[in-house]
Amino acid sequence: MTLSSSAVAPDLDAVIAAHAALRSRKPLVQALTNAVSTNFVANALLAAGAAPAMVDNPEEAALFAGIADAVLINLGTPTAAQVESMRLAAAAAQKAGKPWVLDPIAAGALPWRGAVAAELLQFKPAIVRGNASEIIGLAGLGGGGRGVDSSADPAAAVPAAVDLLAHAAAVSASGPVDHVVGRVDGRPTLVKVGGGSVWLTRVTATGCALGALAAAYASVAPDALTGLVAAHVHFAAAAEIAAENARGPGSFAAAFLDALDAVDEGALRRLAKIEPAVAAG
């Protein structure tokens, strides 16, 4: 599997193929994620058709990166021990050729963790996934953000996302319309994914779960860009299905897990909102 460049820009057919591969292979994702998100991330992976394992202690993190199909590293509540595990797991994933995803939570707002995130880029994540402020912050272009939430428009994060292609094969900035970049035939390319639901912003750790799903897809897709677009499309379709029955954030959260499971080829065909790829940067 090459994770550096796609031969063609991902489209609906590529997303459907990646979804079928996810469902048949049920990839195992090692998640080193924040304390707020662990249960929701594990349940979202199971609902979507993957499998979670939260192995994040320094004694076992590297060994398990060689066992898992993909690794998620999420900097939401980083302790010293967890950061040590992150360095070990990222290095082991790179050595084993396993795709890993960096979610640089609050990288633009908090300099210490911003430096940790920047340091982890040396281990070449397949994917960097964050909200717009985090992508801008990680690229060293400012960003800010109020704590863990975004204050930027994803379109404004595209130059930063393209800069990050020096370290990662694909990068996305989430928001009302998700902006996903990668290389197609070597050239920086932008794919926008619309849809979803604003309810996603009223439940904690939805972005964290999206990062975990991106890791799962990266391990079954032909390249990182296709995997990342597929994760965004699956997530957005599930959010639309869930929003139909939600009465508030609590019922949305439960309906969203049901909908991650319910998304099938028909739902993808009906609900996917993938804009044609364009050159970026």
Ligand X SMILES: Nc1ncnc2c1ncn2[C@@H]1O[C@H](COP(=O)(O)OP(=O)(O)OP(=O)(O)O)[C@@H](O)[C@H]1O
Q: Footprint of ligand X on this chain (CB under 6 A)?
A: 105, 130-131, 148-150, 174-176, 178, 196-198, 200-201, 204-208, 210, 235
Query: Given candidates 52, 207, 222, 227, which one binds Mg ion under the rule CB under 5 A?
Result: 207
Comparison of 205 and 272: residue with beta carbon closer to ligand X = 205
Interface with ligand TZE, residue 51, by CB under 6 A: no
Rounded to a whole number of angstroms, the minimum distance from the CB of residue 129 to Mg ion is: 8
CA distance 261 to 275: 24
Q: Which does 200 bind (CB under 5 to 8 A by kind): Mg ion, ligand TZE, ligand X, none?
A: ligand X
First to last CA, the chain: 26
Q: Are 124 and 94 in contact (CB under 8 A)?
A: yes
Position 114 contacts ligand TZE (CB under 6 A): no
Closest-CA residue to 126 (of 79, 81, 182, 80) = 182
CB of 25 to ligand X, least distance (A): 23
Say which residues have a Cβ less than 8 Å from residue 119's Cβ, sequence separation at least 6.
Answer: 87
Tokens coding 25: 């292979």
Burial class of residue 190, CB neighbours in 10 A (0-12, 13-18, 19+)? buried
Residue positions counted in the chain = 281
Among 36, 121, 141, 155, binds ligand TZE (CB under 6 A): 36
Task: For ligand X, give the closer residue by CB, 33 or 189.
Answer: 33
The yes or no reply on residue 139 touching ligand TZE (CB under 6 A) is no
Interacting residues with ligand TZE (CB under 6 A): 34, 36-37, 76-77, 105, 148, 204-205, 207-208
